[in-house]
Structure formats: structure tokens, C-alpha cells
Amino acid sequence: MIIRQKVPRLGLILPAYNEQEVLKITLTKLRIIRSELVKSGAITADSFIMIVDDGSKDRTWALVNEYEATNPDIIGVKLSRNFGHQPALLAGMSEASKLADIVITLDADLQDNPEIIGQMVAKYHEGYEIVYAVRSSRQTDTWFKRNTALAFYKIAAWLGVDLIPNHADFRLMSKTSVAALMKLPERNLFLRAMVPLLGYPSTEVTYERGKRQAGQSKYPLKKMLTFAIDGITSFSVKPIRFLFDLGILVVGIAGIEIVYTIFEKMFGNPQSGWSSLMISIWLLGGINLIAIGVVGIYIGKIFTEVKQRPRFQIENVTGLKEPENQADISIYKSVNAN
């Protein structure tokens, strides 16, 4: 693997939705880390921090405007509405990669430990195009969240979804790999599985996930379950095959019951069948509803994909200075829907 000689320009991307309580703490911390990396020669002095406001309803965008007015290394991207965490990440990467050589995405709540950013940049200098930040443990999680997360990774692996265990969306990507990611056209975004599909040289660095510095989590249980289901159904058709196999199994059991009933009738020992009848009705009814629901999810995804609606819509970009390269001017007026 070739060691890189050029000092890269880094773009730190923070998707933010109603993060007014924690934004100041996060930006202060990241600006210190950015300055240290500039002094060490790991990144260029014009490296920046980009906050993507995903349709916040609080003062998040107002705070972004205040910070970028006094700090030249702050860039604000405002989406026209709340598109969701994954589209916000994609919007930030799309815009930042126009100016930066490498981008790092991380959450605005500082649970993704920014102290390892230097290690991630060092891995890029070693020649890697993608660097995944992976949690070293889940001891800070509740018992329920820890075990459901482990179950999700096991189920995803069984269904053939290529994921990096204990990795969320804290990662470094080169300009080349971001460009390749943008060529993937799907609207049902699950970046944790999309990025490994690219196949570029990658590695991992580990970190200990911390606690949220302020505010409330934007990923309650319901949203986490929805995200997990969307991720699996976006990258595997095995759930449908599983339903077919389950149907064959149920038919086989029904055949055995028929043979058993015939023998019982022949030998004059019929049993009252109300309980077994009701159980069978409810069981088969439940299986049918689950099957219809799973098929419906896939049909819904097809419906979303064929409409080809924009994955995100940028309303405003602030904090950018005039570029030396005139080819980069388009970012200042961009309303990117790719």
C-alpha cells in the first residue's frame, strides 16, 4: 500500500437535528482537534467543519449562522426539511467532498469520540480510502440495547448483509470513495451497508463510545427498530425466501396432522378438536399477516425507488469563502438532489 505524500484537506461533517444544547460544546471540541491536526501537519490549514441542519425546529440553524460568522472554518448546510439522519449524512458528504480531500462523518452529540480523528487521518496517510471507527465495547449501553444490537448484527450477517460490527456512521472516506458512493442510486439509504459495498481499501480504529453531552437522543427505540428493518430489507431478499420456507414447513405440518386425524378416525378414537382448530387458525393467520407485511415492505421500497425523488434538498449553504479554483464555485449555489 502506497504511503500518501500530499497533505489532505479535511472536512468534518456533523448532521444535526435539534442540537442547540450540545452544538457549542461539540464545535469547541472539534475546533481544538482540528487546530492540533493542522499544527502537526496531518491536514491543511483550510480544513473545515460542516454542520448539516436536518430541518431542525429549535435554534440549531441560528447557532450555525452565529458560529460561521466569526469562525472561518465553520460551514453550514441547511436542508429544506427533515429528511432523516442518513440523507443528511449523504448531503454533507456530497457538499464537503467538492472542497475536501477526505471527509469524516460523526454525530453532533460527541458520543463518537473525536479524539481518534487523528488516528483515522493517519490511516488515510497509510493509503486507506475508508477508515471505520468501531466501538471497543458496549459497556455504556443498557442491557437491552447491548443485546438487541448484538442480535441485529448476527441476524444481518445470517441474511447476507455486509456490515462492520459495532460500527455506526463514524467513518473517514476519501474523495474517491465518496464519489463512488454517490453513484449508488438507491433512495432507501443504509450507509453502514452501502459503504462496504464500494470495495476500496479499508481499515478500522477502535474507540470507547461516551455519553451524550447534552440534549436528548434523536434515536428512540421505535426509530432504531425501523432503521434496522430498513437496513436488512434494503440489502437482502432472504426474508422473503424465509417466508416461502416457512410456508412449506406449515404445509408439511398440516399434512402430518391430516394423516394423524385419519388414523385416529380409523381406529375409533377421535379427539375433540376445538383447541387445535383455534390454535391453527390463529397461527396461520399470524403467519399470513407477517408474510404480507414483509412482502409489503419490499413493495414499498420498490415504490420509493421507482419514483426517483430527491434524497435530500439543500436550501442554503453558508460560511464558504470564495474558492481559488473556479470549478468549485458551483457549491455556493448548489441545490444537490443526487
DSSP states of 165-203 as a string? TTEEEEEEEEHHHHHHHHT---SS--HHHHHHHT---EE
Contact criterion met (CB below 8 Å) for 31 and 49: yes
**Cα–Cα distance between 75 and 56 in angstroms, integer?**
16
Contact criterion met (CB below 8 Å) for 235 and 161: yes
Looking at residue 226, its pLDDT comes to 67
The single-letter code of the amino acid at 158 is W
**Rounded (5°) CA angle 162-167-169:** 100
pTM of the model: 0.71
pLDDT higher for 124 or 303?
124
Q: Over the chain, what is the mean pLDDT?
A: 80
Looking at residue 292, its pLDDT comes to 78
Helix (H) / strand (E) containing 77: strand 74-79
**Which stretches within the chain are classed as H helix?**
23-40, 60-70, 85-96, 117-125, 143-158, 175-182, 191-197, 221-235, 238-266, 274-307
How far, CA to CA in Å, does 64 sit from each of 23, 32, 215, 315, 329? 8, 17, 17, 14, 21
**Rounded (5°) CA angle 39-202-157:** 135
Sign of the alpha-carbon dihedral angle for 222, 143, 205, 10: positive
pLDDT higher for 242 or 170?
170
Looking at residue 272, its pLDDT comes to 64
Confidence of residue 167 (pLDDT cuts 50, 70, 90): confident
Reported as a single tens digit per residue, the pLDDT across 71-97 is 999 999 999 999 989 899 999 999 999
Kindly provide the b/e burial profile for residues 92-107, where b requires at least 16 CB atoms within 10 angstroms of the residue's own CB. Answer: bbbbbbbbbbbbbbbb
**Cα–Cα distance between 319 and 15 in angstroms, integer?**
16
The fraction of the chain above a pLDDT of 90, given in percent, is: 38
How far, CA to CA in Å, does 329 sit from each of 90, 142, 323? 20, 47, 7
